[in-house]
């Protein structure tokens, strides 16, 4: 029983840590996207006034697009936000469906972890070669740090999803589609938000 409680507390601690990391990532890509939009509008305004635009705008925008897309993809893995074809999985017997889903997650995990290791090695080579961007003339390796982080976290999050699928298979939990899971999660979040508001209002009345 004590082992079960210990494992449960570790899982809860990991989930809290994972939620904090996801929140930081979401703020980061939001700020980066906002910066991208402001730079684009500023550059368009300069061109409208027939003033030469920022020469580094295109390259900088390309880097921001790659970084935000990859980090966003990693967040989507955690939240099961990617579009999937799960008709076969939901049609199969419960445990077989979970196992099949776990195999798919494992393949994705291995692939992205391998790519992450490759990206990490490539980042080291960029540092050693002191490669710089063409227009901004700054080192390229910071961009690849974010790329490496995003790819590795994707691999790790796919691995976590695999473990969850194996756990669900052992418990014989009902298989629902990714879209149904998102709807259920949204409803739970909305219910928790309403409960928090009600508790706060009740505390104010007291």
User: For the purposes of burial, counting CB atoms within 10 Å of the CB of 105, is it exposed (0-12), middle (13-18) or buried (19 or more)?
Assistant: buried
Phi-psi group of 85: left, alpha or beta (phi > 0 → left; psi -120 to 50 → alpha; rest → beta): beta
> Which residues neighbour 88 within 8 Å (Cβ) at sequence distance 6 or greater?
100
Residue 187: pLDDT over 80: no
pLDDT in tens, 117-127: 999 999 999 88
More confident residue, 82 or 7: 82
Count the neighbouring beta carbons within 10 Å of the beta carbon of residue 148: 22
39-87 pLDDT, tens per residue? 888 888 887 887 776 777 778 888 888 999 999 999 988 887 777 776 6
């Amino acid at each position: 029983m004590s082992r079960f409680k210990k494992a449960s507390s570790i899982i809860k601690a990991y989930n809290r840590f994972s939620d904090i990391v996801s929140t930081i990532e979401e703020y980061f890509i939001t700020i980066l996207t906002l910066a991208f939009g402001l730079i684009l509008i500023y550059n368009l305004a300069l061109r409208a006034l027939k003033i030469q635009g920022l020469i580094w705008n295109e390259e900088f925008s390309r880097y921001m697009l790659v970084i935000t897309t990859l980090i966003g993809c990693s967040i989507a893995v955690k939240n099961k936000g990617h579009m999937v074809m799960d008709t076969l999985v939901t049609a199969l017997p419960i445990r077989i469906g979970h196992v099949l889903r776990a195999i798919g997650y494992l393949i994705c995990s291995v692939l992205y972890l391998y790519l992450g290791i490759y990206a990490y090695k490539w980042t080291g080579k960029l540092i050693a070669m002191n490669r710089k961007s063409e227009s901004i003339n700054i080192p390229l390796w910071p961009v690849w740090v974010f790329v490496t982080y995003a790819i590795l976290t994707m691999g790790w999050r796919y691995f976590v999803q695999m473990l969850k699928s194996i756990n669900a298979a052992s418990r014989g939990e009902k298989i629902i589609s990714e879209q149904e899971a998102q709807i259920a999660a949204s409803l739970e979040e909305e219910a928790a938000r309403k409960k928090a508001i009600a508790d706060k209002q009740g505390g104010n009345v007291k």
